[in-house]
Amino acid sequence: MKRGILVAWQKAAWREHYRILTLWLGVLIATLVAGPVNAESVDSDAGSAPTLLVMGDSLSAAYNIERDESWVALLEERLPEAATVVNASISGETTSGGVQRFDDLLGQHEPDIVLLELGGNDGLRGLPPQQMQANLATMIEASQAADAEVLLLGIDIPPNYGAAYREAFTTVYHDLADTYGVTLVPFLLEGIATDDALMQDDGIHPTAEAQPIILETVWDKLEGIMAPRVSAGR
């Protein structure tokens, strides 16, 4: 009787030992299998191309020209594999409108670099430069909080708005660049705005022929921002 109980107890003990050993082996195998997959996923993310978000107005939205002629489209052609370019520019956009859309765009695209080209319509409408500065500052702060580097594309307005307003307007971009340590293109239409052959009849928007010049103006600053991110795979 006692021998039967002992044998039964031994069998039960071996069954429990076998169950624990099987569970332990299952966990070990799962860990070994999952390890390379996770590593491959991390490597893939690390090697992904950086995303550029262009946040602008009609100067970046191919106003009255073919989309593939715009400087943003030309930038996409220059970076077919080195980066993903997202153009969120809208003709007529003000800095106030940009602020309202910006958080959603950051969350959706998670950009590494933000090209911020807004303010021209604020100036043309005679809106207070302090308001424009506050809106641009909000977008810069949100970008930096999301670990995105900012390239600020400055705009000028026609002389007929008066010297005082014009100076206050253009000073906004320089103040923001100094305050937040962001790279600045002082004037996006440098060498274009005063050339009638490169401006549309409205005197505000550049022609298709001007777009490659705009691209080079942007690229002069953007290349330095992109280089370390591309080499790092981000």
Q: Residue 6: enclosing H or E segment and its boundaries? A: helix 2-46
> For tokens 């298709």, what's the residue?
208
C-alpha dihedral, 120 to 121 to 124 to 129, nearest 10°: -70
Number of helical H runs and strand E runs in the chain: 7, 5
Helix ranges (H only) for the chain are 2-46, 71-78, 95-109, 120-124, 129-145, 163-180, 211-231
Helix (H, G, I), strand (E, B) or coil at 194: coil
Measured between alpha carbons, how far is 142 from 47 in angstroms, rounded to an integer? 25
Gyration radius of the chain's alpha carbons = 28
Q: Which residues are catalytic?
A: 58, 202, 205
CB 155 within 8 A of CB 59: yes
Measured between alpha carbons, how far is 187 from 40 in angstroms, rounded to an integer? 43
